[in-house]
Chains A and B, each alone.
Chain A
Amino acid sequence: MDETFSIELDFEACKGCGYCLETCPENVFDPGPEHNAKGYRPPVVARPNSCLGCRSCFMVCPDFCLEVSRVPD
């Protein structure tokens, strides 16, 4: 059975650098429409079902605001 993953992006803690968007091999993220309280525009998790769980986005994110976890079957 295929594994599924959940990607949690903390909207207020994100600084909108765009590294996750650039790095994800499966194009899971899209540029986001809204600004957070600090004035940054976080990406949105648009296609969570495409996630492979490679954690590249987590490793490239310079802030502690992105987490990838496996959804238990």
Chain B
Amino acid sequence: MDGLFQKYLRPKKIPSTACSGCGLGQVHKRVLLAIDGLGLGVQDVIWGTGIGCAGRQTFNAWKGDNFAGTHGRVYALAAGLRMALPKEKKIVLTVGDGDAFGIGLKHLLHCARRNLDMTVIVADNFGYQSTGGQFGLTTPPGAVTDSSPYGLSETGWLGPDLDVLEILKAAGATFLARHLSLDGKPSVDNLKLALLNPGFSLVHFIFPCVTHFGAVSLAERDKPLILSWFKSVFNPAYGQDRGESFQKLKDRINPGFLKLKRGLYHDASGSRPDYSELLKAWTDTFRPDRAAPKEPGRAGSGEGAEP
């Protein structure tokens, strides 16, 4: 194990309990590369999560402060933390698609509306995989899952004419990007921009769940082949040279149907104030004793403030 992971992760938590070949670790790695690339230390980041595969593998592997919220509620907890913590502390949340775009969507939208300074990493495995592979809000239409044995009949938040990132943009998010867990430098660069935005940022990562989505929806157990199907999500032409076994996977679920935009989706970094800062300034006008001292010896400095 190299210095980067010794620097940021608890050795006891690595290897994670994620399945062999699960792409979640690829997402995790890119987030750490971005944190390291910005020169941030363990003390600079508070790492939180909701529930499911995406969360439990990541938050408490972080050597610094970390917390787990209940399903879909981590955004509300992070909003409170944002009000309480000094501005320099970064809040990073690694959550799943069910957490962010399902049960927690309304909390998420309100964090975007307030442009609260936090970076939400949605690690999307196309459904509820930690409970055995039920369809969710990002499962491709037609997919056979534990709860759609005849194929999924509806379209969720990802489709040719519907994109959850558009909703987040309309709600006021100031930085949005989307990647595949396999993307290299461009994904790390966008993660850095997300961390630097003094407002609400979200990076959506699609990653392969080999155990449920791969084995059931794609009906394939060969992990590198499943990985190739994911490569063709953003690039439908990919894998034409991979022969019949790969074509079978593409016939099962057509990866081009989503027509998703990859890379930077929306960057309005710094264009709107972060509500937590406005709130702090506003409450200070009522509690001058709590306001940051403007000059030495003033009330609030802790030295002889009481008359």
Contacts of A10 in B (CB 8 A): 1
In the complex, what distance in Å separates the CA atom of A16 from the CA atom of B26? Answer: 15
In the complex, what residues of A have CB within 8 A of residue B21's CB? 15, 17-19, 62
Check if A40 sits within 8 Å of B20, measured CB to CB.
yes
Residues of A within 8 A of B23 (CB): 62
Q: Which residues from 1 to 54 on chain A have a C-beta closer than 8 Å to any C-beta of chain B?
A: 8, 10, 13, 15-19, 21-22, 38, 40
- Within 8 Å of chain A (Cβ to Cβ): is B110? no
Instruction: State in angstroms the CA–CA spacing of A61 and B184 once bound together.
Output: 12
Interface size class of B (residues with CB under 8 A): 20 to 34
- Which residues of B143-191 are within 8 A (CB) of A? 182, 184
Q: Are B184 and A64 in contact (CB under 8 A)?
A: no
Does B251 sit within 8 A of A, measured CB to CB?
Answer: no
Verify if B15 is at the interface (C-beta below 8 Å from A).
yes
Asked whether A62 lies within 8 Å of B26 as measured between CB atoms, the reply is: yes
Q: Quick one: given A19-B223, A69-B2, are A64 and B20 in contact (CB under 8 Å)? A: no
A62 touches B1 (CB 8 A): no
B56 to chain A, nearest CB (A): 15
Tell me which of A15, A22, A38, A69 contacts B227 (CB under 8 A). Answer: A22
A61 vs B223: C-alpha distance in the bound complex, in angstroms? 12
**Residues on A facing B (Cβ under 8 Å):** 8, 10, 13, 15-19, 21-22, 38, 40, 59-65, 67, 69
The 8 tightest CB contacts between A and B, nearest first, are A62-B25, A17-B21, A15-B20, A22-B224, A67-B2, A64-B5, A13-B15, A17-B20
